[in-house]
Amino acid sequence: MLVTESLAGLDVGGAVVWGATAFLSLYLLITVRTLRILFGTISVVLIALGLAVQTGLIAVPGPTSNISRAFLAASSIPMLFAILLAVQYRTKSTIQGRQLDALNADNARKTFLLTQAIEGLSEGLVIIDARKTVLYANRAARRYIDIGLFRDKFLEAARYVDPHTGAQLPKSKRPSTLALAGMTVLEEELLLALPNSERDVRLLESAVPLQGKDGKVDGAILWFRDITDERELERKHRDIEQQLAQAQKLEAVGQLAGGIAHDFNNLLQVIMGNVDFLLDGKEADDSPPARFLKQIKMAGERGSQLTRRLLAFSKGQPDDPVPVDVNGLIRGVMPLLERSLGSQIRISETLADGLGNAVIDPNALENALLNLAVNARDAMPKGGLLSITSRREAVAEGDSGAVPGLAPGNYIVLTVRDTGMGMTEEVKQRIFEPFYTTKAHDVGSGLGLAMVYSFVQRSGGVIRVDSTPGMGTTFTLWLPESERGGEAAVASASATVRRPMEETVLVVDDDDDVRNMMVQMVESIGYKAYSKDNAVEGLLFLQRHPEVEILLTDVSMPGAYNGLQLADRAIKAKPDLRVVITTGYAEKFDKELTDMGDHASVLLKPFTKDDLAAKVGRHAPRQTGIA
């Protein structure tokens, strides 16, 4: 009743001010703290005092309404401060809210980018708990977890193998186990056999433990890099490096052989030439001197064949490739192999029916089989079995990678297998190296298998060896099959020789003994001969003596021109000139002979008088290889 009467005593203006002030004060009391609460409290107290004076609850001297207004007016000052503080608080709260929203957005963006970065790593990353359950795996890791992500214990199902020993790695040695035990593992190379997969992968795996707030290990982070392709590429690089080293060694042997070949063949030329003269007309003579001469001639021919094959091996040139019946050649060489191997070693042959012809030098194949047989004999000191098999194999475009270095096509495949002691991996990697041998120095030269390797390479084929200590050795030769069906037509070396009347031959050779021998040979078969010891004098002689019809010149000579350059200039000066180029090297002169047209042919030293007569006594077809 008292409050009602007091409120009734308020004038309209005072009531409005009082009501507004009271509302704001209450609002400030509700929404502000500390100073805002203090200012709000002061304002409310002043309003209450003004209200009490206005309603007469508090008796004061003087006009009541003025004092009441004074209290109300005084309350507006703390109220104003409270309002300003409230506005500042609201503004600060709004700014802080916006900053928090921006911070949350930035954190979300960074989290997204970090997730994307981890997902985009080429290395696999896996997080596991203490029970080895996969908690997280990035995209690279998920390629290997094909048994259920976040569900199965992938690392327990996978099988680890030591890549060096091939032994299965126990669980206690796995990186995940070591990490959960508190140890850090960095780039351990492992072979991982994935569940439900036939392909094993090589990994470089690392693992670090994850510790909880209590300091205990409650998980681990694993990351790994797939190095399967990298290791395969390294293996191919090693193979290429080994092939390059093999080629370099063969080149070194070639340079060594080529350096002595010319002089050695010249010596054989003089020996065999003189024996030919001494045996002229005495072929049927069986007296001791004649037999001695025939033995010297046979020895010279064997030396000539040996030198020719060694040069062909060192120079990497084909010997004389023709289509050869491989089965027939194997049957023909079997008696020689049986005599070479002895009675303790049995020989078996399994030859495929309908086998085609291989484009090879038959003498070189015989020599290769003999070398392989002798190598097998040395590997079976207590006896054993040597088996030789043949088959035909077609290699398609996509299958050629199965045998590195083998081009698509049809091949005759020969397999020579023994039951000997076998070879270690180290020996197997070096058996085709020239001069490498496991035998005593006075027993083996180390050239046998190197010559086999060179023969197969020259023939356009491939040779591979498989061997295990105690299990024997297998050599497999892929030789290109001939596209022609029949035997090669071989030109007769004893073709009819045209005996000219006083035809003139110019002999050019820097070796005095060889040059004199060649002059004697030329004159003995009915030609008039001149000789010069260098190409320059030979060319000048040809210019001054147009009657010369045949040029017989060596290839290697000192001076401004070699024999090929002399022949080229001589033919250009006299187009009807016939040229026979003699050489002690196993080289081919395809380009040079093509440039000379049909006027030139090659005669390999050492040669006999009949060989020379067959060349100069008729206009022989040009031969692009070694005659």
Handedness of CA 422, 428, 432, 433 (dihedral sign): negative
Question: Does residue 602 register a pLDDT over 70?
Answer: yes
Distance CA 489, CA 284 (A): 31
Bridge partners (DSSP) listed for residue 603: 582
3-state secondary structure of 263: helix
Contacts of 203 (CB under 8 A, 6+ apart): 189, 190, 191, 192, 224, 225, 226, 227
What do you get for the CA distance between the two ends of the chain, in Å? 147
Burial class (CB in 10 A: 0-12, 13-18, 19+), 572: exposed
Question: Does residue 499 register a pLDDT over 80?
Answer: no
CATH 3.30.565.10 placement within the chain: 322-480
Is the distance from CB of 608 to CB of 276 less than 8 angstroms? Answer: yes
Give me 318's structure tokens. Answer: 């084909």
Give the least confident one: 11-25, 109-123, 371-385, 403-417: 11-25
Domain 124-226 of CATH type 3.30.450.20: yes
Quote the distance between the C-alpha of residue 317 and its chain's center: 26
Q: What is the mean pLDDT of residues 51-65?
A: 63
Is the distance from CB of 623 to CB of 318 less than 8 angstroms? Answer: no
Is the distance from CB of 551 to CB of 572 less than 8 angstroms? Answer: no
Q: What is the mean pLDDT of residues 261-273?
A: 79
Question: Does residue 275 register a pLDDT over 60?
Answer: yes
Bridge partners (DSSP) listed for residue 350: 389
Q: What is the mean pLDDT of residues 368-373?
A: 86
3-state secondary structure of 410: strand
Q: Which fold has domain 322-480?
A: Heat Shock Protein 90 (3.30.565)
Mean pLDDT of the chain: 75
Is the distance from CB of 541 to CB of 569 less than 8 angstroms? Answer: no
What per-residue confidence (pLDDT) applies to 156?
60
Q: Which of 235, 224, 163, 232 is nearest to 193 (CA)?
A: 163
Give the least confident one: 58-72, 492-506, 536-550: 492-506
Give the least confident one: 56-65, 230-239, 454-463: 56-65
Is the distance from CB of 405 to CB of 364 less than 8 angstroms? Answer: no
Burial class (CB in 10 A: 0-12, 13-18, 19+), 23: exposed
Bridge partners (DSSP) listed for residue 429: none
Q: Which of 370, 520, 527, 365 is nearest to 455 (CA)?
A: 365
3-state secondary structure of 218: strand
CATH 3.40.50.2300 placement within the chain: 504-616
Distance CA 489, CA 293 (A): 33
Q: Which of 395, 375, 354 is nearest to 478 (CA)?
A: 395
Give the least confident one: 189-193, 311-315, 332-336, 527-531: 311-315
Q: What is the mean pLDDT of residues 506-514?
A: 88
What per-residue confidence (pLDDT) applies to 495?
37
Band the pLDDT of 37: cuts 50, 70, 90.
Answer: low
What per-residue confidence (pLDDT) applies to 147?
40
CATH class, domain 233-315, is mainly alpha
Query: Per residue, what are the HEC states of 108-132?
Result: HHHHHHHHHHHHCCCCEEEEEECCC
What per-residue confidence (pLDDT) applies to 116?
79
Q: What is the mean pLDDT of residues 521-543?
A: 88
pLDDT tens, residue by residue, 79-117: 676 677 667 677 777 777 777 777 888 788 877 787 777
Distance CA 158, CA 411 (A): 43
Q: How much helix, strand and coil, in percent to the nearest 5, is found in the chain?
A: 50, 20, 30
pLDDT tens, residue by residue, 121-157: 878 888 888 888 888 888 888 777 654 444 445 556 5
Give the least confident one: 137-141, 499-503, 548-552: 499-503
pLDDT tens, residue by residue, 11-28: 555 555 656 666 555 555
CATH 3.30.450.20 placement within the chain: 124-226
Question: Does residue 440 register a pLDDT over 70?
Answer: no
What per-residue confidence (pLDDT) applies to 316?
46
Distance CA 579, CA 603 (A): 10
What per-residue confidence (pLDDT) applies to 388?
93
217-220 long-range CB contacts below 8 Å, 24 or more apart?
217/130, 217/179, 217/180, 217/181, 217/182, 218/129, 218/130, 219/127, 219/128, 219/129, 219/130, 219/135, 219/180, 220/127, 220/128, 220/176, 220/179, 220/180
Band the pLDDT of 616: cuts 50, 70, 90.
Answer: confident
Of the two residues 499 and 535, the one the predictor is more confident about is 535
Distance CA 364, CA 455 (A): 7
Distance CA 571, CA 525 (A): 24
- Full strand arrangement of the beta sheet holding 384-395: 345-351, 384-395, 409-418, 472-480, 462-468
The CATH H-level superfamily of 504-616 is Response regulator (3.40.50.2300)
Cis, peptide link before residue 606, omega less than 30° from 0: yes
Q: What is the mean pLDDT of residues 618-625?
A: 40
Q: What is the mean pLDDT of residues 534-550?
A: 89
